Structure formats: C-alpha cells, structure tokens
Amino acid sequence: MEIRMKRDSLSLRRAMPQFEYICADSPEEAACCWREAEREGKIPLWYAGGYQLLDQIDIYEKEYTLIDIKKLCSFVRLDSDRLYIGAGATLTQIKDSGIFPLMGDVVGEIADHTARCRITLGGSVYGDGRREAALPLLLCGAEVRTFKEGYRDERFTGKRLNHGELALMFAIERKYLSLPFIRIRQAGQQEEGFLSAAALRSQEGVRIAIAGEPGPPVRLKEVEDIFESGLTDKETAKLCIGRLKEDILVGGQDMGRRKQLLQNTFERIGRWNQGEEI
C-alpha cells in the first residue's frame, strides 16, 4: 500500500532527535505509519487531544512519531438502534450532544472546560489517567471497534489494547441511553485516593462500575444482585465489601481508606435504588 507520509518534521534544535507529526486519513494509513516508525527505530504514539501525551514524552531524548487520529473518528452519531461515539470525539462534543446523559455527566466532570474541548474519549479511556469515561461504556455493555492489521469489534471491558492497536469507536445500544443512573465521585485528600462510581438501573437490575487510582475501571458484577435483596443500605454495603476481591479492595491505596470510599459508595447506591433522593 502506498502511503503518503505527511511529515512535518520539526527540528527544534540541531542536535535534537527529530519529532515527527503525521495526520492519518484512514486506519490503514495510521497502522502503516505506526509500523514504519517502529522499523525506523522511532517511538510511535497515537495522538488524540494531546493533553496527556505532550506531558509525557521527552523529545530531547527520543525520536517520536505522533500519529494524529482525530480525522478518523471524531463523530457522535445516533441511529435507530445504537449510539456511535468516535474515539476522537471530544468530551465537550459528547456532552453537548445531549444524547447520553450518563456519559455527559461523567465526561462533564473531567478536567476543566478548556481541556474538555480537546480531550477525546479514546484518550480518556486508554490514557493513563483515572479513566472515568470508561464507566458508562462498562455499564452499557458497549462494543469497541479497533484497528491494527484489520478491524476488530469486541465487548468493551476496560482492558488495555494490544501494542499498536487503535480504538476507533464505541457503540452503545439505544435502550441504555435514558435509563436512570447515579454518579458518585469521592476524592480523598490527594494521596488518600480517589473513587469514581456510576450505577445504572436496567430491567435486569442495578449495574455498578468503578474507576479510580490506580486500578483499571471495572464493572462490579459480583455485587449487583445484593441490591435486589431488599436489605438496608448499611447491610447491602457490608455484603458488597465482603464479596469484593482483594485487588479491588486494595487498589494500590491504603486499604482502610479504600474500603471506606467503597462502603460510602455502596450505601449511597443502596439508598438511591430504594428511591431516596441522593
């Protein structure tokens, strides 16, 4: 395949490694540029909003190829069955569409207004931050479409993509878009951790997902049925904590603090599920 390499090589200092920027016109071209960069001994990176990336790379030490993917997938589109959100859509674009209130609420709390105009859904979900934007995708059983050597569609689980794999879009069934939900965000004092949770009430019952630092975002299927047993919020929370595996409870933070954040979260979801105003 012939690839038009639109290279804007910026030689920022004579002795400095070259810094390369390529704006891809197709997933095939993006993947090709990735492989080519690796063959040339450079470090290829998907460039979306650039908010995290530009902070992380050290252009004085290494040669990077930034492959801009925004042209490929910056849409928010609703059809009769599904909502499709491109991985390159910005958080502002998603919120302003007003199509999916839960997603709008979650992404509307990330960073500040200026940053949200540039941060993308793909960067938020696959970057190294708190990855809160993954919560609605987990709750709705979204599908993610990716590209590496070809297209791949699979259920979104919050797992990292393979090396060199590019997320293109997320698909959410329309029936989930207007279900009742609750958002709970608890910030500790800096090093004491952060827990972000969302719950959705579907026909099958309550669904819960959490994100925080540093664990990956996950859906907590193992506790969801407890919310259907008619227990008090405190009893519900206690049972939930008892069912969680150690990696969720510890999450890299002080276990006592983490447990407390989780307990508060479950109690509030319990009260919300019983119809209390939260």
Instruction: Give the interface with ligand FAD as residue ranges (CB under 6 A).
Output: 45-53, 69, 87, 110-111, 115, 119-120, 122-124, 126-127, 129-132, 161, 166-167
258's enclosing H/E stretch is helix 255-273
Closer residue to ligand FAD, CB minimum distance, 119 or 199: 119
Half-sphere exposure of 185 (CA within 13 A, CB side): 12
Tokens coding 101: 């209130």
Contact in structure between 261 and 268 (CB atoms under 8 Å): no
Closer residue to ligand FAD, CB minimum distance, 114 or 203: 114
Tokens coding 27: 């997933």
Tokens coding 194: 């952060």
CB of 233 to ligand FAD, least distance (A): 26
Q: Report d(CA 210, CA 266) in Å as an integer.
A: 11
Tokens coding 107: 């992404």
CB of 113 to ligand FAD, least distance (A): 11
What is the identity of the amino acid at 59?
I
Closer residue to ligand FAD, CB minimum distance, 157 or 202: 157
CB of 165 to ligand FAD, least distance (A): 7
The stretches of 8-118 forming alpha helices (DSSP H) are 27-39, 53-56, 91-97, 101-107, 113-116
Say if residue 180 is preceded by a cis peptide, omega within 30 of 0. Answer: no
Closer residue to ligand FAD, CB minimum distance, 145 or 268: 145
Closer residue to ligand FAD, CB minimum distance, 21 or 51: 51
CB of 46 to ligand FAD, least distance (A): 4
Q: Report d(CA 74, CA 106) in Å as an integer.
A: 19
| CA distances for 52 relative to 48, 103, 206, angstroms | 9, 21, 33
Name the 3-class secondary structure at 262. helix
CB of 56 to ligand FAD, least distance (A): 8
CB of 117 to ligand FAD, least distance (A): 11
Q: Report d(CA 153, CA 243) in Å as an integer.
A: 31
Closer residue to ligand FAD, CB minimum distance, 128 or 173: 128
CB of 4 to ligand FAD, least distance (A): 21
Closer residue to ligand FAD, CB minimum distance, 104 or 129: 129
